[in-house]
Structure 1
Amino acid sequence: MKINIFLRNCAIAVMAFSAIQSCKVPSRDGDLFEPNPIVLERMEVETLETGSKMPPFELPDMYGQMVSHEQFSNAEILVIAFISNHCPTSQAYEDRIIRFVEDYQDKGVTLVAINPNSPFGLLPEECSYSDLDDTFETMSIRAEHKGYNFTYLYDGDNHAVSLLFGPVSTPHFFVFDSERKLRYNGRMDEIERPGTANGEDLRKAVDQILAGEEVSNPRTSAFGCSVKWSWLDEWVSRINREWKEQEINIDFIDKNGVKEIMANDTENLRLVNVWASWCGPCVQELPDLLEINRYYRNRRFEMVMISADSPDKKDDALRILRNNHMAVSNFIFNDTKRDDLINAIDPDWRGAIPYTLLIEPGGNIIYKHQGVINDLELKRIIVEHPLLGRYY
Structure 2
Amino acid sequence: MTKLKTLIALAAALVLPVVGQEIPKVLAIGADLPNFSLPGTDGKTYTPADFRDSKVLCIIFTSNHCPDAVAAAARTEQIYQDYKDKGVALVAVNGNNPGSLTPDELGYSPFSDSFEEMTPFAKDFGWTFPYLYDGEKQEFVTVCGGQSTPHVFLFDADRKLRYTGRMDDAGRNSGNVDKSYLRDALDAVIAGTAVKEPVTRSFGCSTKWLFKKANVAADQGSWEKRPVTVSDLNEEISKKIRANDSKNLRLVNFWSTTCGPCVKEFPALIDAGRRFQTRPLEFISISLDPAEQRPAVSKFLESRHAAIPDSVAKSLAETGLPSNNYQWTGGNPDTMAQAIDSEWSGALPHTVLIAPGGKILWRHTGDIDIVEVRRQILKGFQ
The equivalent of 1:35 in structure 2 is: none
Contact 1:311 1:335 in 2 (8 A): no
The equivalent residue for 1:211 is 191
Q: Is the 8 A contact 1:88 1:130 kept in 2?
A: yes
d(CA) in 2 for partners of 1:103, 1:40: 42
Q: Structure 2 CA distance, aligned partners of 1:196 and 1:59?
A: 31
Q: Structure 1's 355 and 167: CA in aligned 2 closer, same or farther, altered over 3 A? A: same
Q: Match for 1:285 among 247, 252, 265?
A: 265
Partner of residue 254 from structure 2, selected from 274, 277, 299? 274
DSSP-derived class of the 2:357 partner: coil
Name the SS for the 1:173 alignment partner. strand
Which residue matches 1:354? 349
User: In the alignment, what sits opposite 2:321?
Assistant: none
Aligned pair 1:240/2:235, yes or no?
A: no
Q: How many Å separate the matches in 2 of 1:238 and 1:348? A: 42
- The separation in 2 between residues aligned to 1:122 and 1:364, in whole angstroms, is 33
Conservation of the 8 A alpha-carbon contact between 2:42 and 2:130: no
Residues 1:227 and 2:222 are matched in the alignment: no
Assess if the C-alpha contact under 8 Å between 2:270 and 2:283 holds in 1: no
The equivalent of 1:379 in structure 2 is 374
Q: Deviation of residue 70 (structure 1)?
A: 0.3
Residue identity in the other structure for 2:21: R
d(CA) in 2 for partners of 1:109, 1:198: 22
| Uncovered stretches (5+) of structure 2, i.e. residues with no partner | 1-17, 309-323
Letter in 2 for 1:216: K
The secondary structure found in structure 1 opposite 2:139 is coil
TM-score (norm 2): 0.89
- Give the structure 1 partner of residue 131 of structure 2: 152
Q: Map residues 1-392 of structure 1 onto 2, 5 A cutoff.
A: 41-192=20-171, 193-197=173-177, 200-328=180-308, 329-385=324-380, 387=381, 389=382
1:338 deviates by 2.3
Post-superposition offset of 1:40: 7.7
The amino acid of 1:273's aligned partner reads N
Moved over 6 A (4+): none
Q: Is the 8 A contact 1:252 1:333 kept in 2?
A: yes
Evaluate the alpha carbon distance shift between residue 40 and residue 290 of structure 1 in structure 2; reply closer, same or farther with a 3 A threshold.
farther
Whether the aligned pair in 1 keeps the contact of 2:102 and 2:215 (CA below 8 Å) is: no
1:95-129 per-residue CA deviation (whole Å, 9 max, x = no partner) reads: 21111111111110111010000122111210100
Distance of 1:40 and 1:262 partners within structure 2? 52
Offset at 1:199?
5.7
Q: Tell me by how many angstroms 1:320 deviates.
A: 0.2
Q: Distance in 2 between matches of 1:65 and 1:108?
A: 21
The CA deviation at 1:195 is 2.0
Deviations 1:125-156 (A, max 9, x none): 10100101000110001011211121100001
Deviation digits for residues 330-355 of structure 1, max 9, x if unmatched?
11111342222222222222111111
Instruction: Measure, in 2, the Cα distance between the counterparts of 1:100 and 1:346.
Output: 46
**CA deviation map 1:174-222 (0-9, x unaligned):** 0100000000000111231222516621111111111111111110111
Any stretches of 5+ residues in structure 1 without a counterpart?
1-38
Mean alpha-carbon deviation: is it higher for 187-196 or for 145-154? 187-196
Q: Secondary structure of the residue that 1:93 maps to in structure 2?
A: helix
The letter of the residue matching 1:135 is S
Equivalent pairs, count: 349
User: Using the alignment, how far apart are the partners of 2:351 and 2:178 within structure 1?
Assistant: 40
- Name the amino acid aligned to 1:256: E
2:278 partner amino acid: N
Contact 1:124 1:133 in 2 (8 A): no
Does the CA contact (< 8 Å) of 2:101 and 2:216 recur in 1? yes
The amino acid that maps onto 1:80 is: I
